[in-house]
Amino acid sequence: MDLFVKEKERMLKEYENDPTNELKKNRTDVEEKSRIQSATEIVYKNSNKQTRRCSGCGERAPHNLQTCPIKLAAEQSSKAT
């Protein structure tokens, strides 16, 4: 039984130290996209147009009233006092 455990540990060390071995990652850690994006999605993602208009600061920015940095800063300063 002891021989079996030693052999298993040796094989595990070989497996971990093998430079050609890439350990399988969890699906959430996969860097590659799991589906092919359409041309429309790629163009939309790469466009420089800022789509939302914030009703808090009135700017065309990638945030809305709920995530407005000006509003969040004002709320935090009022909480501090």
- The string of pLDDT tens digits covering residues 29-60 is 555 656 788 888 888 888 777 667 888 888 88
- What single DSSP character describes residue 61? -
Domain ranges across the chain:
51-81
> What distance lies between CA 62 and its chain's CA centroid?
18
How many CA atoms does the CB half-sphere of 70 hold within 13 Å? 10
Amino acid at 48: N
16-25 residue pLDDT tens = 766 565 555 4
Cα–Cα distance, 75 to 78 (Å, whole number): 5
